[in-house]
Amino acid sequence: MAWLQKEIQLPSFPKGCHSISRHVLEALPELAKIRIGLLHIFVKHTSASLTINENADPSVLVDLDRVLDTLADENFPYYHREEGVDDMPAHVKASLFGSSLTVPIRDGQLLLGTWQGICLCEHRSRAPRRKIVLTMQGEG
């Protein structure tokens, strides 16, 4: 059983949901050697989240962000406002989706469905570049 862990910094993304599958795969050339295993992906921030969702039609990710804006409206009377009006809604949205994903691996491939992709949901209007931790476990 082999383990590998990498921390990568993603490019800067505007507010919204963005496919990061390509960034994950580019960071893991070792994936090709794994016959069976798991990839765990963790975002190291409290105002961004991860989800697996539609990877073919980008309007799905746009609509997903619009729904999140409705669920965690910036005009809600939050107590926490020191970091701007988008900060507390970002924490709420991140809590809804969560900070990590686990994806199975078989024969050097992530076992995502035909239309699935790994997405970073950026919930802040002006966010720093986000860091994710990739932890892979598997047998060759």
Percent share of the chain, pLDDT over 70: 99
CA distance 67 to 105: 31
Look at residues 30, 1, 14 and name the one whose alpha carbon lies nearest to residue 134: 30
Q: Which domains does the chain show, CATH number per domain?
A: 19-139 (2.60.120.460)
Q: What pLDDT, in 10s, does the model give residues 63-85? A: 999 999 999 999 999 999 989 99
* pTM to 2 decimal places: 0.95
Q: What pLDDT, in 10s, does the model give residues 28-53? A: 999 999 999 999 999 999 999 999 99
Residue 57: which pLDDT band, with cuts at 50, 70 and 90? very high
Q: Determine contact, residues 19/55, Cβ cutoff 8 Å.
A: yes
